[in-house]
Amino acid sequence: MRKSLNKTCLIVGAGMAGLTAAAELSACGWEVTILDKGRSVGGRLATRRLGSSRLDHGAQFFTTRSEEFIRAVAGWEMAGWVEPWYSDEGHIRYKGVGGMNALAKHLASPFLVRTETRVQTLAAICDRWQATTESGEVFDADALILTPPAPQAASLLAGLAPDVSATLARINFDPCFALLLTLEGPSLIPAPGYARPADGMIEWLADNTQKGVSEGPAAITVHATGAFTRANLDAPGDEVTRLLLAAAEPFLGSAVTASQLHRWLYAKPPADNYSMCLFSDHIAPVAVAGDAFAGARVEGAWLSGQAAAHRIDRSQ
């Protein structure tokens, strides 16, 4: 890609798509500013503490299918950031060393990411983008990359890029309850530490201790199915926890010592959109990236972040 000196880009979201776009653009000479509303970088590459245990509660692993991503992941593996967890259906399932969020932290380390900074409104003034945060801070730049899940990006762009906003608003994400548990003793989840029960309620269980992410006897992540989550989205947390605990019981085998329920409102986009990213320069250059555009998985977010960076770089 050509060098673009003195150009600035504002990137909203420090998940896989935003961090990938930041690396790609800064390699092309752009100055990037990354804002994220979360307490940490990573978005759905998320790892939480429950007592002294550590649990991946968003993405559980990732696979590599495209040549470009295979090359990137080989570099991460050499750096000691990721390692194979297990193989299935011809694909290695990679995990983050120290948890999936640790990978995001490595990718973010060259940048000064502004966390706990939620972009509330966008405006385009004299061919430049201006983002105002909920605390009233204003950031501006020549170009903009938005990586929040599509429905959230749609509201930010409403009135500014109506075509892009309307396309984004039509992308429906599946929600997902994630129940995190610690146990008194070992779990009954078989090696290498995951199970996929076909009970209609639970899509996935993982034992973070067997996975090598956590210490302690057992630290379990339970992901509900999209159907169960949608049907119980407004149910009290205690009730959802009770139902999921009952369904997970055959895999536990030891008493639960602590639990925490998390609701991912935008967990998984539909799997069929391969436009790579959306772009408009109607007012000023903006690209929208994320897993909604290149495959509903970590690799899709990475590919989309790359595509958005290339599209923005070409626009100048």
CB 221 within 8 A of CB 211: no
Residue from 7, 95, 297, 311 in contact with ligand FAD (CB under 6 A): 297
Segment contacting ligand FAD (CB under 6 A): 1-9, 158-166, 183-191, 295-303?
295-303
Q: 3-class secondary structure for the chain?
A: CCCCCCCEEEEECCCHHHHHHHHHHHHCCCEEEEECCCCCCCCCCCEEEECCEEEECCCCCECCCCHHHHHHHHHHHHCCCEEEEEEECCEEEEEECCCHHHHHHHHHCCCCCECCCCEEEEEEECCEEEEEECCCCEEEECEEEECCCHHHHHHHHCCCCHHHHHHHHCCCCEEEEEEEEEECCCCCCCCCCEECCCCCCEEEEEEHHHHCCCCCCEEEEEEECHHHHHHCCCCCHHHHHHHHHHHHHHHCCCCEEEEEEEEEEEEECCCCCCCCCEEECCCCCEEECCCCCCCCCHHHHHHHHHHHHHHHHHCC
Least gap, CB of 1 to ligand FAD (angstroms): 21
- 208 is a site residue for ligand FAD (CB under 6 A): no
Does 8 help bind ligand FAD (rule: CB under 6 A)? no
Shortest Å, Cβ 224 to ligand FAD: 9
Residue number with CB closer to ligand FAD (138 or 185):
138
Q: Which stretch binds ligand FAD (CB under 6 A): 37-45, 75-83, 236-244, 307-315?
A: 37-45
Q: Which is nearer to ligand FAD, 176 or 252 (CB)?
A: 176
Single out the residue of 22, 287, 301, 309 in contact with ligand FAD (rule: CB under 6 A).
301
**Cα separations in angstroms, 45 against 15, 42, 93, 96, 271:** 7, 5, 15, 9, 18
279 binds ligand FAD (CB under 6 A): no
Please identify, using beta-carbon distances, which residue of 148 and 285 lies nearer to ligand FAD.
Answer: 148
Asked if 201 is part of the footprint of ligand FAD (rule: CB under 6 A), the reply reads no
Contacts of 191 (CB under 8 A, 6+ apart): 210
Binder among 47, 58, 105, 164 for ligand FAD (CB under 6 A): 58
Chain residues 76-95 in contact with ligand FAD, contact rule CB under 6 A:
none
- Which residue in the set 38, 197, 212, 217 belongs to the binding site for ligand FAD (CB under 6 A)? 38
The distance of closest approach from Cβ of residue 177 to ligand FAD in the complex, given in angstroms and rounded to an integer, is 9
The residue written with tokens 């999921």 in the block is: 244
Total binding residues toward ligand FAD, as defined by CB under 6 A: 38
For the CB of residue 186, give the shortest distance to ligand FAD in the complex, in Å.
23
Give, as ranges, the residues between 137 and 196 that touch ligand FAD (CB under 6 A). Answer: 147-149, 152, 176, 178
Decide: is 15 part of the binding site for ligand FAD (CB under 6 A): yes
Residues that bind ligand FAD (CB under 6 A): 12-18, 35-38, 43-45, 58-62, 118-119, 147-149, 152, 176, 178, 223, 264, 267-268, 290-291, 296-298, 300-301
